[in-house]
């Protein structure tokens, strides 16, 4: 639902982390703006670099924002003890809500009317990757000035299906940084494991 008089042509801002899913979405959706946020996560520099390369290759506008909250994180991404509130090593309380809020501010600033996020079906293991989370956050955004839309076009797709749908080239996807632990792929964290599994499923393993 868009306010009266507003174009039905969407102007999307994509949250681009530089991982497989958001890179595939950048290639598929060709958003008006891609935003990468350094929120104090350990792999931030590698994510920023991957995102910048992808945007350069795809000819997309790239914005970078520093909004560091390292002291509030938990688990692998923060280099802290894991949170007792989740059994997943990469859990960081309210992370997606925080990132979507910042992305919404940037969307208003850059004239975008929709925030696009790279949630895929396997992210449902986190409460902030669930359909309910998306539903309620969508309502929260719609309630406010700007009535921004929130979309997760790959919410029902696996990463492999998303990559195939996107037609992203192997050379662009090769920039993906998936490790949760730091700037160099550790090979063992859930992010690295997912990276290997998706590349193997696609037949793009090196």
Could you tell me the smallest distance in angstroms from the CB atom of residue 76 to Zn ion?
8
Interface pick for Zn ion out of 40, 181, 194, 195 (rule CB under 5 A): 181
Could you tell me the smallest distance in angstroms from the CB atom of residue 192 to Zn ion?
3
Q: How far apart are CA 193 and CA 169, in angstroms?
A: 21
Interface pick for Zn ion out of 163, 179, 198, 199 (rule CB under 5 A): 179
Helix pair angle (44-58, 20-29), 10° resolution:
20
| Pairing mode of beta strands 62-66, 114-116 | unpaired
Residue closer to Zn ion by CB (options 120, 189) is 189
DSSP assignment letter at 184: S
Query: Residue 13 forms beta bridges with which residues?
Result: 33, 115
Could you tell me the smallest distance in angstroms from the CB atom of residue 201 to Zn ion?
18
Size of the site for Zn ion (CB under 5 A): 5
Residue closer to Zn ion by CB (options 78, 148) is 78
Segment 183 to 202, residues that bind Zn ion, using CB under 5 A: 186, 189, 192
Could you tell me the smallest distance in angstroms from the CB atom of residue 153 to Zn ion?
26
CB 175 within 8 A of CB 50: yes
Cα angle, residue 85 at apex, residues 81 and 90 outer, rounded to 5°: 55
Candidate segments 36-44, 81-89, 93-101, 181-189, binder of Zn ion by CB under 5 A? 181-189
Find how far residue 164's CA is from the centre of its chain.
18
C-beta neighbour count of 117 within 10 angstroms: 26
Candidate segments 18-26, 135-143, 147-155, 174-182, binder of Zn ion by CB under 5 A? 174-182
Under the rule (CB under 5 A), what is the footprint of Zn ion? Answer: 179, 181, 186, 189, 192
């Amino acid at each position: 639902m868009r306010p009266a008089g507003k174009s039905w042509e969407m102007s999307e801002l994509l949250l681009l982390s530089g991982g497989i899913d958001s890179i595939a979405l950048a290639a598929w959706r060709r958003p008006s703006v891609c935003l990468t946020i350094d929120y104090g996560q350990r792999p931030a520099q590698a994510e920023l670099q991957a995102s910048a390369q992808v945007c350069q290759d795809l000819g997309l506008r790239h914005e970078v924002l520093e909004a560091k909250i390292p002291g509030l994180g938990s688990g692998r991404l923060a280099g802290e003890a894991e949170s007792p509130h989740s059994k997943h090593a990469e859990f960081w309380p309210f992370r997606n809500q925080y990132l979507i809020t910042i992305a919404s501010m940037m969307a208003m600033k850059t004239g975008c009317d929709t925030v696009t996020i790279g949630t895929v079906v396997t992210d449902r293991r986190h409460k902030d990757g669930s359909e309910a989370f998306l539903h309620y956050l969508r309502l929260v955004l719609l309630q406010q000035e700007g009535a921004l839309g929130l979309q997760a076009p790959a919410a029902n797709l696996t990463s492999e299906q998303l990559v195939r749908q996107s037609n992203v080239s192997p050379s662009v996807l090769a920039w993906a940084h998936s490790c949760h632990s730091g700037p160099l792929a550790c090979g063992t964290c859930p992010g690295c494991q997912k990276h290997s599994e998706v590349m193997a499923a696609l037949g793009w393993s090196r």
